[in-house]
A and B are shown apart, each in its own frame.
Chain A
Amino acid sequence: MELSQYVQKGFQMLADPGSFDSNTFTLLLRAAFQSLLDAQADEAVLDHPDLKHIDPVVLKHCHAAAATYILEAGKQRADKSTLSTYLEDCKFDSERIELFWTEYQNNRNSLEILLGSIGRSLPHITDVSWRLEYQIKTNQLDKMYRPAYLVTLNVENTDSRSHPEISFSCSMEQLQDLVGKLKDASKSLERATQL
């Protein structure tokens, strides 16, 4: 994991029991996780009374360093030994490494979900609605008398957050074809998960 001087410096400050005792260390760490994972989090995350005595510049530096490191570790799916190696290099004692690892484990799932959801993908089908109708006549044609379906796919776009819909009509035979293909895909999926 390649991390900048800025991050390293921030961590070296965090490692120093003179600047951060155990309690403030944990608080800062938690603030970093909160900033990343809590959608409602804002600058107030560093407003804890126990952090007031620390120089705000130092606080921000360490907070930013921790957040950067957490994201990089999450992205690379770092294990305990990778984490320990880096933190040792930053002069963390074993107690702080344990604390860091515990906090990291607690938040790991949410972190990975967050990172996994970033990125472009194709429009995603979320739901389907259908309508069955019996066609009787049009202005061009009488006595039609046949059933027909109108199917609407609800689709979500990751980036634009728009929700376009795709609608189409189909006859019974066509719907049977569609359902057949979807069931083929499902069976294939089931088989793949059993490998």
Chain B
Amino acid sequence: MLLDLSEEHKEHLAFLPKVDSAVVAEFGRIAVEFLRRGSNPKVYEGAARKLSVSSDTVQHGVEGLIYLLTESSKLMISELDFQDSVFVLGFPEELNKLLLQLYLDNRKEIRTILNELAPDLPSYHSLEWRLDVQLASRSLRQQIKPSVTIKLHLNQNGGHNTHVLQTDPASLLHLAQQLEQALEEVKTNHCRRVVRNIK
């Protein structure tokens, strides 16, 4: 599958062959850093001064690079397809190689970052438990009532949520059993077949 680059995108990227490869490599590093941490306009200004161009040009160049990398990573295109896609830009061979290397080196990390943009459900972080025995309450003395107190840690939208819950021994066993069955399910023929055939 080839990348479909718009005219505007091609224009932005056209800046890259005008600078030497060390600069392109630096832009690549900045691009990935911006994907990790968000963009920082001051960097554009500094680079623009050093290269004697407008900061808009630098910005477009870096953003073009970012888009190239994210689209390629999202679609998980092969090396060959990446090379063919970039070929249409008419860049020198050395630049093409550099861009390919940039793609391959950062693909995995970029995919991890893109994954975080998916609709976010609270996700499991960890679980703490404690065994308790209730001995008395205001309305009844001399009890022996076992219970399990659970602290469930969840992640959502980068934040941390905690739920403090309780359950009785029978429910605890039921919970463990049900979830164990859930785990077993992945190993069944049906699931294996699906995993094998949808790739």
Q: Which A positions have Cβ atoms within 8 angstroms of B?
A: 74-77, 112, 115-116, 118-119, 121-128, 130, 132, 134, 136, 138, 140-145, 147, 149-151, 153, 155, 166-170, 172, 174-179, 181-186, 188-189, 192-193
Contact = CB atoms under 8 A, between A and B. Distances in A.
Given A115-B139, A192-B146, 13 more contacts: A75-B139, A122-B149, A123-B163, A128-B175, A134-B191, A134-B195, A143-B76, A166-B152, A167-B121, A170-B123, A174-B123, A182-B176, A186-B176
A130 B198 contact: no
Interface stretch (B13-21, B23-31, B88-96, B182-190): B182-190
A127 B174 contact: yes
Contacts of B148: 185, 189
A168 B127 CA distance: 13
Given A122-B164, A127-B174, A134-B198, A168 B183 contact: no
Contacts of A123: 163-166
Contacts of B121: 150, 167-169
Given A140-B74, A141-B118, A149-B182, A186 B172 contact: yes
Instruction: State the main secondary structure of chain A at its contact with B.
Output: mixed
Given A115-B140, A116-B145, A122 B166 contact: yes
- In the A-B complex, the 5 residue pairs with the smallest Cβ-Cβ separation, listed nearest first, are A170-B124, A122-B166, A182-B176, A115-B140, A125-B167
Q: How big is the B interface, by class?
A: 35 or more
B176 A183 contact: yes
B74 A168 contact: no
B182 A132 contact: yes
A28 to B, nearest CB: 24
A125 B76 CA distance: 42
A127 B119 CA distance: 26
